[in-house]
Amino acid sequence: MMNMNVIGFEKIVCSSLLVFTLYTACTEAISLQRQILLDIIENRTYDKRIPPGIDFGDIYEEQPTNVSVQLFITEIYDVNVNEMDFSITCYLRQKWVDHRLNFSHPDITLELTQEEINSIWTPDTFFPESKKGDLHTITKPNTLMHIYHNGTVLYSLRLHVQLSCSMDFHLYPLDHQRCPIHLESYGLTASKLLYTWIDGTPVHVKNENLPLYDINGNPPTDVSLCHRSLFNGGTGFSCLTMVIELKRSVGYYMTEIFIPDILIVGLSWVSFWLHPLAVPGRVSLGAVTVLTMSSLGSASRRNAPRVSYVKAVDVWSLFQIMFVFIALVEFSVVNVLARFKVSDARASEIAQESASKYRESQGNVQDPDKDESRRPYLGRAKKIDKISRIAFPAVYLFFNFLFWVIVPNL
């Protein structure tokens, strides 16, 4: 019994010593990190206003500070075709080496708070295409800075940015927008600050599908020398370029514009199977199709971008109205021919020469006047209707072939 109590006491002592040792080690590590950070921040020779590359103490050793950038776009939304802009939520991650932040503990990584970040030099990166933007601050400013023993600094921001995009709507709604987006320094020229994309995947878009657009998840990127200023002798600014590609999904417009238009045009061809003298039915059908097509065209234009040039949807709507209107004109022509009458004497002569030709009926439909011998052009009117039954669909199919093959590939 005595031995068991001794063993239990020894276990308790060992456990206590282990906990105390771990606590002491953690406390010492935290204290060491705090001391290193204080040494950096309170270092009188450190100046956060000067980039690391030109703070070597010797003018001949000055060199541009290389900043590697990665952009992770978590969301693209509010694509506004009238204002020509869209909004993104993104993580902007930047990495550079600041030799002034070296310390001799490779197993320690300094993690800075927002107040401490304000004491460290950071690049003045901005988006030239931005209309407005802000840093997410829920529940605190969404910033991150890690400093490694060799002076490598990792700086991450979570941003909301509204970006402008010069859009071309000539092919709307089959358009494909390419929006170049730049990142560059606002005040430091290429002699002091150089940007590069990180290796691998420098830009990634998380949500590749929007309600009306498909997006390339890995946009193309480039590094170039951007705008040249007149105020610094022509020295350029280092610049990073990416292209956000917005390909409009045509499914919504198929159900709202194209399919209804095709059905209305097909409905207008029903009049070709009615008798040339069936005036109430053919007039009603033609008027309804023309008015319906006009209202559909107005609705499609109401939701379209407001631009001064002709768009693909305008060409489409124009041809739909033309097909419906020409079908109505065709009825007018055949009705005039069918209603033309001759005198009774002339009718008798025609009846004797070709009675069978002018007494033929079309299906079960009969001439309301029961006197086809007095209508010498009725047969010609019916022939025009028969030709229209084939010609109109053929021409319409040819137009659709040209539209759906040529326009999307422009």
pLDDT in tens, 161-205: 999 999 999 999 999 999 999 999 988 888 889 999 998 888 888
**Predicted pLDDT of residue 22:** 42
Question: Is the Cβ–Cβ distance between 206 and 177 less than 8 Å?
Answer: no
**Predicted pLDDT of residue 364:** 45
DSSP letter, residue 229: P
Question: Is the Cβ–Cβ distance between 229 and 186 less than 8 Å?
Answer: no
**Predicted pLDDT of residue 160:** 95
What are the residue ranges in the chain where pLDDT is below 50?
1-2, 4, 6, 9, 13, 16-29, 230, 347, 355, 357-370
- Burial code of 303-326, b = ≥16 C-beta within 10 A, e = fewer? ebbebeeebbbbebbebbbebbbe
CA 280/CA 356 separation, integer angstroms: 28
**Predicted pLDDT of residue 87:** 93
Angle at 230 between CA 227 and CA 232, to 5 degrees: 95
**Residue 27 CB coordination number (10 Å):** 10
For residue 136, give Cα distances in angstroms to 120, 126, 131, 143. 20, 16, 17, 9
Handedness of CA 210, 76, 67, 192 (dihedral sign): positive
Where would I find the beta strands (DSSP E) of 230-311? 236-248
**Predicted pLDDT of residue 135:** 93
